[in-house]
A and B are shown apart, each in its own frame.
Chain A
Amino acid sequence: AQSVTQLDSQVPVFEEAPVELRCNYSSSVSVYLFWYVQYPNQGLQLLLKYLSGSTLVKGINGFEAEFNKSQTSFHLRKPSVHISDTAEYFCAVEGYGQAGTALIFGKGTTLSVSS
């Protein structure tokens, strides 16, 4: 079975500082990994995904993530954050088997950017 652990529930940072949101996964099969963002009282929006190939994946809004198979990690990074990046971020792995292709989510990391 697949699972996702987001290591930080809250990450406060100042504007223009770099940020890393950490995600570890477990899976006995090859994985597809995703990061989604959720703004207050809204649905989720895809930031980026890793399917195969280059382990460094670039997404929208200047975010990127690195897939590390040996450490089973998929950390999300941004070199310089803006106030508008304040949101909740979810790491997800695609289920396989009993869960079909449904996404299995971590518990989320709240990114708070202040000036």
Chain B
Amino acid sequence: DGGITQSPKYLFRKEGQNVTLSCEQNLNHDAMYWYRQDPGQGLRLIYYSQIVNDFQKGDIAEGYSVSREKKESFPLTVTSAQKNPTAFYLCASTRDRRGTEAFFGQGTRLTVV
């Protein structure tokens, strides 16, 4: 079945450590996105990529980095520069055409301990 896979589902990190969240899709979608979800804040866009080897910052990119070396993969690194990284992270993908449905992964819950 086609879909988006995020791993791991739960992740714990010590302060000062970088951590990478995985996102893989087999939908052959061109565009991929990372959102951060906090209670009462909705989803806020971190980074997005509309084509391999290209990506743009979203509204809250500080303290995060991404790569897009393959069409099906869009990993997100949460760096030690991110001041408040504990959150639920969602990856999504779409065909790169306006008005199409976004497909979401099941999310990764990151907790800094």
Contact = CB atoms under 8 A, between A and B. Distances in A.
B98 A32 contact: yes
A49 B99 contact: yes
Contact of A44 (B48, B58, B104): B104
Nearest to A30: B98
B2 to A, nearest CB: 14
Contact of A101 (B31, B35, B41, B109): B31
Interface string A39-54: 0011111100101000
Nearest to A45: B104
A103 interface: yes
Interface residues of B, number: 28
B48 A100 contact: yes
B60 to A, nearest CB: 12
Interface of A: 6, 9, 32, 34, 36, 41-46, 49, 51, 90, 94, 96, 99-108
21 contacts: A6-B42, A9-B40, A32-B98, A42-B106, A43-B90, A44-B90, A44-B92, A94-B98, A99-B45, A99-B48, A100-B31, A101-B31, A101-B97, A101-B98, A103-B43, A103-B45, A103-B92, A104-B45, A105-B42, A106-B42, A107-B40
